[in-house]
A and B are shown apart, each in its own frame.
Chain A
């Protein structure tokens, strides 16, 4: 086997540690936070008048009608990402990559209480949580040499990534029609990536890699908000926020073992020497690389048509950062009360990728998948409490380049479904 063959084979492998190992940094709306807000598709920056307002637009909690309110949301979310036709079998058939993610967790808890002239809020939010797994086993994968295909190929991925926000909010009314508010969230991100793969070639060579990475980010996310009600039934909301990472710990460990001699290859940006047959390669390193996030701004409009009917819409802009393109997302929501005890909400939202469209001929491009979502929920009210059951569905199609240094482009698909159950009280 000559060097070029080896290179091809290894290139085939290294997408296992693709150019971004982050769970999903390509999108901003990975999970829709909140109770009523979720039902409205996240179009909440002009409404915002309950505990989930702390997250969307803290100025809104000044309008919270009750003395005190609390809300908690539990979410069961599943997501499936499919990269089409990544591998070619010996018989010409194509094989997809499938990654599944699911998580069950409290997604939001917040309380709002009247303090003096304003409202004080305290909230906890999980804007992103994934536990992605891939367990696939392939047979007879074609290589450039017909006489030495990959006989068996095993891949295991077990990634988990959670973002947490926790902190106080304060809002007050400056006049009957104007309120301002601020939230100071403490930000914490906990990521763990475990990936391993084994390849067995027909002529006896094998290749094994284990990749382990942990990353912890600590920072702050201040949110400033303003709500103006030019009319009794119309509200305009504006909120601005930015995640600022103050401290980062990243630790990476790679282990390879291969029985192929000669050549170099790139794995995760590092060049490794494979001239030593039958060797075990081990590398462990600690890094401190703080990720930069762009600022975001949301402009929302809410129309309280009647006590039973509400329409709301948001436009959210995320600025550009060195490896992120700017994004504009949209959300539309409506709420209808069938009676005092039963309300229905429906929301549409976009979750566009913060990456460029993939162009032909280039290599190592980030995946670009635009997601569209639909949310619907029912809320039952009873005196001091209410419960909400909701479902959220998101679907997106796009393209990805899964193979390092290859110009091949794969179609990619994301499908998210989540169910949420939440409760709110006034007291």
Chain B
């Protein structure tokens, strides 16, 4: 290998190593940003779900991020390195698993693989019996629906009454 190429490759190591900012996305419904990694330090701004942030460093349960006039701190569990997905988008996915335990929920598209699924379904049925897996009750649990409106009104009511108790 010519010397120049070698030098270039080795120098190329150093340059990207110095770059440090990283992308973050708000994955919770809201993400409050504080002046310090301390909620008593003062709320600077609150971002909505899906907002893209520029992370500077991760320290314990906090990320330091860039905000308009400098930096702020946000809880690490409220953000992630990929944009948020919706649970609704995964509904089809969950239904796909439900076809194994309940025929009623099988969607037309899953018939195409019906023959393949039959073997799998029977295998799972035996498996479920052996380990006493109660899918029927599980479906009851999954059937409890909380609408967004109901949840929001529940939260609002909580905030309004927070100091009454």
Contact = CB atoms under 8 A, between A and B. Distances in A.
Interface of A: 305-306, 308-309, 334, 336, 338, 346, 374, 376, 393
Given A374-B1, A393-B1, A308 B17 contact: yes
A335 B126 CA distance: 49
Given A374-B1, A393-B1, A338 B16 contact: yes
Nearest to B16: A338
A173 B10 CA distance: 34
A379 to B, nearest CB: 15
B6 A374 contact: yes
Interface in B1-26: 1, 6, 9-10, 13, 16-17
A346 B6 CA distance: 10
A374 B9 CA distance: 12
A336 B17 contact: yes
Interface of B: 1, 6, 9-10, 13, 16-17
B108 to A, nearest CB: 32
Contacts, number: 17
* Chain B contact residues, majority secondary structure: helix
Given A346-B10, A374-B1, A306 B17 contact: yes
15 contacts: A305-B17, A306-B17, A308-B17, A309-B13, A309-B17, A334-B10, A336-B13, A336-B16, A336-B17, A338-B16, A346-B9, A346-B10, A374-B1, A376-B9, A393-B1
Contacts of A309: 13, 17
Contacts of B16: 336, 338
A62 to B, nearest CB: 28
Contacts of A346: 9-10
B56 to A, nearest CB: 15
A158 B105 CA distance: 70
Contacts of B10: 334, 346
B13 A334 contact: yes
A354 B1 CA distance: 26
Contacts of A305: 17
